[in-house]
Structure 1
């Protein structure tokens, strides 16, 4: 069986030649200008777009979706997208965000994180006229900041603008969620509760069994449910949040690695270093200098 290829920012940058911020953020004026793959692709990034005209049809993990004018769409990481069909007049603005940059931006807003988790299974939402105008304004302002390399605080400024945009987008997701609240499945509810627990406790707890106990279910059932909903294991989610916490501490504080080891409840620096390198590809000290 042929291996499913990844789609990430680096690949899309090569195809689109649009405005980008390192390998963290890419803005595409019209996603139709990016050559469509002729086979299934696994997303290794997060795509947020707004359809302005025409129609697009595609499948996410074999589920079919369609996007029409005035609708926003979100494609989250680790999904498999396939069966693209775009009308001849299709146009859509699109922001592509790296997974790490996305989590850096929303890491301290737990309700926002939960709403984006909801959008994994409900990726298409209607925008009213005012919301469309706001999204387009964000797009243009962020693009102007990407091209302004003279600003010493460029990345921090863009991160702040993205957070503001995510607040507005989260409000749209919240409205859609309220309308579908009664129909939320048990697996979706368990997954949302699990992620909230991980966000609140990942500095101290990395055991799947501990999270299962808090949810009053077995570790096996938790693993099966999380994998069913998100295509990732509980351990992958825990590692993702733990690694993000370490990355933020390394980059945004002057704490020593010994202090970070204690903060993150690792038995010693060697253990933390090995864990970090396995997940990030470099040692904590090298990451701090990079």
Structure 2
């Protein structure tokens, strides 16, 4: 029987820390042995530090040895897990929503996402292993210590710094690995390339679908399958980032920003911002400025 694995479903005895966005798991053997698991809205990162393990992901079998990083992305089935007696690891589970909120929206992020689905086992060199341990230890120390006023911001900054430093290691693996994308993944990657390569971002799904010779509905189905979001949600993610950047880092007026991003009027721009941020553009700019002074 398949069991949906969510952060909320990870029991306290399995985790050193779990706040619903990030979990540090110290009892991976018992957690995995319970039943066939389906990762539901989370990424699981496992760095093997000793012993060996085997796991099947979507019916493909993987052998995990020391210095191997195993990544289980959202919406995969984990089953037939076996561990040696001396198996040890560092294990982090991150919600998909938090991961997408923190990680830089670089075009190769989607290459990495697809890579993890096709090749979830990444052999790290010594520098990569040491880097993982350094950040894991520091992030763990901040999470389990007595709370400080801005612990969430500190942890988010540490994760972002880790991503930037660790990205080079994973990017080298992406370039070395064969691009074995299936048809759905190729369509999705083309959509992302079009989306990233355009400015301002057209907010109509039909704009991208027409360029790709597919229907808007089919494009949304592909996006949902590959990224867990509809095409419209994907577009909004990138538009939101552009809005945040212009409000935070430029002195342009709201009217100038609205027209630069392709909104027909400042009124329409205001409604869009309220729908996605819950506040007006003016208040959002103030909030962004106070959160990032100077």
Match of 2:162 among 162, 165, 168: 165
Instruction: Determine which structure has greater relative contact order: mean sequence separation of CA pairs < 8 Å that are 6+ residues apart, divided by chain length.
Output: 1
Partner of 2:64: 67
Distance 1:234 1:5 in 2: 28
TM-score scaled to structure 1, two decimals?
A: 0.72
Q: Residues 35, 172 of structure 1: CA spacing in aligned structure 2 closer, same or farther, 3 A cutoff?
A: same
Q: Secondary structure at the match of 1:165?
A: helix
TM-score scaled to structure 2, two decimals?
A: 0.72
- Render the CA deviation track for 1:211-260: whole Å, top value 9, x for unaligned: 2234x3322664565456456543454456567888x79xx89xxxx98x
Match of 2:140 among 123, 139, 143: 143
The alpha-carbon deviation at position 201 of structure 1 amounts to: 5.8
Match of 1:9 among 7, 10, 15: 7
The alpha-carbon deviation at position 94 of structure 1 amounts to: 1.0
The alpha-carbon deviation at position 18 of structure 1 amounts to: 1.3
The alpha-carbon deviation at position 88 of structure 1 amounts to: 3.4
Distance 2:262 2:8 in 1: 31
Give ranges in structure 1 of 5+ residues lacking alignment: 277-282
The alpha-carbon deviation at position 109 of structure 1 amounts to: 3.8
Q: Residues 82, 106 of structure 1: CA spacing in aligned structure 2 closer, same or farther, 3 A cutoff?
A: closer
Q: Residues 209, 184 of structure 1: CA spacing in aligned structure 2 closer, same or farther, 3 A cutoff?
A: same
For these two proteins, the number of residue pairs brought into alignment is: 272
The alpha-carbon deviation at position 71 of structure 1 amounts to: 0.9
Partner of 2:278: 284
Q: Residues 59, 175 of structure 1: CA spacing in aligned structure 2 closer, same or farther, 3 A cutoff?
A: same
Q: Greater CA radius of gyration, 1 or 2? A: 2
Residue pair 1:55, 1:69 contacting (<8 A) in 2 also: no
Q: Residues 180, 162 of structure 1: CA spacing in aligned structure 2 closer, same or farther, 3 A cutoff?
A: same
The alpha-carbon deviation at position 162 of structure 1 amounts to: 0.9
Q: Secondary structure at the match of 2:145?
A: coil
Give ranges in structure 2 of 5+ residues lacking alignment: 288-294
Q: Secondary structure at the match of 2:80?
A: strand
Q: Secondary structure at the match of 2:57?
A: strand
Residue pair 2:15, 2:27 contacting (<8 A) in 1 also: no
Residue pair 1:112, 1:170 contacting (<8 A) in 2 also: no
Residue pair 1:107, 1:113 contacting (<8 A) in 2 also: no
Partner of 1:82: 78
Residue pair 1:43, 1:81 contacting (<8 A) in 2 also: no
Distance 2:231 2:99 in 1: 19
Q: Secondary structure at the match of 2:35?
A: coil
Partner of 2:130: 133
Partner of 2:56: 58
Residue pair 2:57, 2:78 contacting (<8 A) in 1 also: yes
Residue pair 1:202, 1:238 contacting (<8 A) in 2 also: no
Residue pair 1:58, 1:84 contacting (<8 A) in 2 also: yes
Residue pair 1:105, 1:162 contacting (<8 A) in 2 also: yes
Partner of 1:19: 17
The alpha-carbon deviation at position 181 of structure 1 amounts to: 4.0
The alpha-carbon deviation at position 151 of structure 1 amounts to: 3.2
